[in-house]
């Protein structure tokens, strides 16, 4: 087992141990608290909050991927090329508006809880996936498409069997970036009563408990590093299968 693999495994084990048995780590945080304050977040289950945080990020990323990839495919077809500027403007909206502003607009429409957070993450995650879908599809070698056409493949077959598989590593790089953005951004969802790790951070800020703030932040950071690294491994494996250098998809 290589050193990077060992580090990944240790990071995963540390994360699982902390969110399932947080009291075992109380001694680490005790120097950061004032007398009488709890060293470990005690207003809910860290495991449940982590799973809820991941659920919101996963659902929002899934929705962003479905729309962004569909738009990317559409505007790279001859019939949709004229809609590229409009599509690019639409997916840029999520990056133009701060997530907190999206929450403020969404709450009166859908209420408090997970829904406004989902909307904010969905909008925020569109741009990197859309742009990488465009890049991946436009970089497919013309010779590959011509060869597929010469084999008698129709437009759908060329897309599903040639273009998308060749573009997959680049598209996955966009999804990876979207996930990492969403993991951090999802913490603000707790300001509108969404369950997640932001609840731990906000509780720490409200009670002036630095230990709580660090616990929420460290779990989010570990999740981001592990997921980023895991998706990076998938990208590199896909790139190797296509005979491309790993840096071509990063």
Please report, in tens digits, the pLDDT of each residue of the chain (250 residues total).
676 778 888 889 999 999 999 999 999 998 988 878 899 998 889 999 999 999 999 999 999 999 999 999 999 998 888 999 999 988 888 788 788 888 888 888 888 888 999 999 999 999 999 999 999 999 999 898 889 888 888 989 999 899 999 999 999 999 999 999 999 999 998 888 888 999 999 999 998 999 999 999 999 999 999 999 988 888 888 878 776 554 544 4
Instruction: Mark out the alpha helices in 21-113 (DSSP H runs).
Output: 26-29, 46-75, 84-96, 99-110
* Per-residue tokens: 33: 């608290």
CATH superfamily of 47-248: MetI-like (1.10.3720.10)
Q: Tell me, what's the pLDDT at 250?
A: 47
Nearest to residue 110, comparing CAs of 193, 185, 45?
193
Q: Which contacts qualify for 155-163: CB closer than 8 Å, 24 or more apart?
A: 155/77, 159/73, 163/137
Domain parsing of the chain, residue ranges: 47-248
| Whole-number CA gyration radius for the chain | 21
Chain centroid to CA 166: 22
Cα 72 from Cα 129, distance rounded (Å): 9
């Amino acid at each position: 087992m290589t050193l990077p693999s060992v580090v990944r495994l240790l990071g995963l084990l540390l994360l699982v141990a902390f969110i399932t048995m947080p009291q075992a780590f109380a001694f680490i945080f005790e120097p950061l608290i004032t007398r009488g304050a709890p060293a470990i977040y005690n207003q809910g289950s860290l495991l449940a909050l982590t799973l809820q945080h991941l659920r919101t990020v996963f659902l929002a990323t899934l929705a962003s991927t479905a729309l962004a990839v569909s738009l990317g495919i559409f505007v790279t077809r001859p019939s949709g090329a004229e809609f590229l500027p409009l599509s690019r403007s639409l997916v840029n909206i999520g990056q133009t508006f701060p997530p907190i502003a999206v929450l403020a607009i969404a709450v009166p429409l859908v209420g408090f809880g997970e829904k406004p957070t989902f909307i904010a993450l969905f909008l925020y995650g569109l741009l990197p996936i859309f742009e990488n879908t465009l890049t991946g599809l436009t970089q497919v070698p013309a010779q590959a498409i011509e060869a597929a056409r010469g084999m008698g493949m129709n437009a759908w077959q060329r897309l599903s069997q040639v273009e998308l598989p060749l573009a997959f590593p680049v598209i996955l790089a966009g999804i990876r970036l979207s996930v990492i953005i969403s993991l951090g951004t999802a913490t603000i969802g707790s300001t509108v009563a969404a369950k997640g790790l932001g609840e731990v951070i906000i509780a720490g800020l409200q009670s002036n408990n630095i230990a709580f703030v660090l616990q929420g932040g460290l779990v989010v950071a570990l999740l981001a590093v592990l997921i980023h690294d895991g998706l990076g491994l998938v990208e590199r494996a896909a790139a190797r299968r296509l005979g491309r250098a790993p840096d071509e998809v990063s």
